[in-house]
Structure 1
Amino acid sequence: MSEALEQTGRKARLIGQGIPEDFLISAAVAEFKGPEVFGVVRLAQVNMELARIEASFSGLSPGKHGWSINEFGDLTRAAASTGKVFNPIKGGSAEKPLGDLGTLDVDEKGAAFFSGMKEKLRIADLIGRSIVVYGTEEKSDPGVTASVIARSAGVGENYKSICTCDGTTIWETSDTDFIVSKV
C-alpha cells in the first residue's frame, strides 16, 4: 500500500488501521509540555497483539534514560505518584514488565527519538495511565518527567500540533524523525 501511494510522488506513512470490531481504542497520545522536557509519544494499535510506539523528546540530559508505561496517571507528585511499571500479566514477570519501554538514547542537544513495536500491548488498557522518563537507565528513581496517556483519534483524524512554530501535526512527522528499534 505504501509503495503504491509513494508512486504518486508523495510521501506515505501508514500507521494503525480502520476501526475493527474487536477493539474501540486504536490510538493514544501522551504530551510532555515542559517546563524543561517537551515531547510527544504516539501509540497505535497495529493488531490485537501489537502496538506501534513513536516518540520525540527535547530538554533531557544527554545519555541513556529509561522510560516506561506506569500504572497510574496521577501526576500530583509528578512522576513519583505514577506507581510501578505497568504489568497486567497474571503473576507478573519480574524479568521485564509489559510497560517497560527500554532505553532512550539522548543526544548532546537533549533530543531523543524512538520508533518501534511492542508485542502484547493493548492501547485500550493504557488510557489514563502514564509514561515516565527516568534520569538514568534504571527505573528505580521517581522519574524526571511524566505525562498521562490519553485517547486519541485514529490516524489522519488527529490534528494536534507537535510544533506550533511550523504547524506540523503529530501524524505528519516522517520516518526520518525516528530511530527504529524493537522494544
Structure 2
Amino acid sequence: MGTPTSMADPSDPKEETEGVLSELLTEFMVDMKCDSCVSAVKNKLQTVDGVRIVDADMTNQLVRVLGSASLRTLTDALDQTGRKARLIGQGNPEDFLVSAAVAEFKGPVVHGVVRFAQVNMELARIEASFSGLSPGIHRWSINEYGDLTEGAASTGRMFNPSNGGISGEAVGDLGTLNVSREGEAFFSGTKKMLRVVDLIGRSVVVYESEDKSSSGVAAAVIARSAGVGENYKKICTCDGTVIWESRNNDFSSS
C-alpha cells in the first residue's frame, strides 16, 4: 500500500481510511468494578467490525483488543459503555526495539495527535486526529528534524532514508488530509517501509495546501510511545494524578 491518501469530500467529517488496517494489539485501562462491567465492555467491543479477540482483566482494569479496528472506533465503543477508559499501549506483541510512537499538536490553533505502530518490519500503521485546521485538503508529511525553533520551517526536508521509497515515493510522504468544515480531520491507514524506530526525534508537519507549495501550518515532534505491556501504571509519575484525571489523548471523537 502506498501513500495514505483519501479522495473523500472535505466537508465530510468521517474518518479517512485507506483499505483494511492490519491487525494490532491495543491496550486500554478501563474503569471496571464488577463482573457486569467486564461483560458490558467485552460484549460491546466484540460487536465492532475488525475486532477478533477481546480480553478483560477486572483486577488490573486492563482490556486488550486484537484486531484491525481503528483506535477511534474502539474508543467510541468504550465511550458508549459509560466506562472511563484510557489508551495505554499499542503495537505488535513481537519484540521490536520501538513499536509505537506519537506526535502531539498542542495548539494554540491546531490540536491533534498522530500515532505510529509497527505491524511488521515492512509496515507501520498510522492513526491521526486533528482539530483547528482550515477546511479543505492539506498535505502532511514526516520531516527529517524535530527542530521546532522556527515552527515547520526548521524541520528540514521530507524524511526519505536511502533504502526507502516505493516507486519514487518518499517514505515520509503521508499524502493528504481532508479537513471538514468544522476544522476536523481523522485518518487511519498503513505505510510500507516505515519503521517506527527511525521516526523518534523527527517531526510531523501539516501544510496549508494540497501540494506543499505553502508553508507548514503546524508541526510536532515524534516521541516514543508505550507499546503493549509497557504501561500498566495507574498513577502518573509526573504530577501524581490517577489515570482517570489525566489528559485524554486517545482518539475519541469528542
TM range (shorter): 0.7 to 0.9
**Residues 95, 169 of structure 1: alpha-carbon distance in 2 compared, 3 angstrom cutoff:** same
Could you state the TM-score of these two structures normalised by the residue count of structure 2? 0.58
Q: Which residue of 2 aligns with 1:71?
A: 144
The CA distance in 1 between the partners of 2:164 and 2:192, in whole Å, is 18
Tell me how far 1:46 sits from its aligned partner: 0.6
- The correspondence for 1:17, drawn from 92, 95, 110, is 92
Give the structure 1 partner of residue 179 of structure 2: 106
Q: Partners in 2 of 1:11 and 1:154 — Cα distance?
A: 12
Q: 1:86 to 1:140 in 2, by over 3 A?
A: farther
Over 3 Å counting, the alpha-carbon distance change for 1:12 and 1:62 in structure 2 is same
Which is greater in Rg?
2
2:117 equivalent to 1:44: yes
CA displacement at 1:3 relative to structure 2 = 2.6
Task: After TM superposition, give the deviation of residue 66 of structure 1 in Å.
Answer: 0.3
Q: Distance in 1 between matches of 2:192 and 2:164?
A: 18
Quick one: percent identity of the two aligned structures? Answer: 61
Equivalent residues of 2:53, 2:65 under 8 A apart: no
The answer to whether the 8 Å contact 1:87/1:93 transfers is no
Cα RMSD (Å) of the superposition? Answer: 3.0
Gaps of 5+ in 1: 178-183
For these two proteins, the number of residue pairs brought into alignment is 167
- Output aligned runs, 1:71-150, within 5 Å: 71-90=144-163, 95-150=168-223
Distance 1:17 1:61, change over 3 A: same
Query: What does residue 132 of structure 2 align with?
Result: 59
Q: CA distance change for structure 1 residues 155 and 106 in 2, over 3 Å: closer, same or farther?
A: farther
**Could you say what secondary structure the match of 1:133 adopts?**
strand
Q: Which has the higher helix share?
A: 2
CA shift digits 1:127-146 (9 cap, x unpaired): 00000000011123330000
How far does residue 19 in structure 1 lie from its aligned partner after superposition? 4.5
Calculate the TM-score normalised by the size of structure 1. 0.79
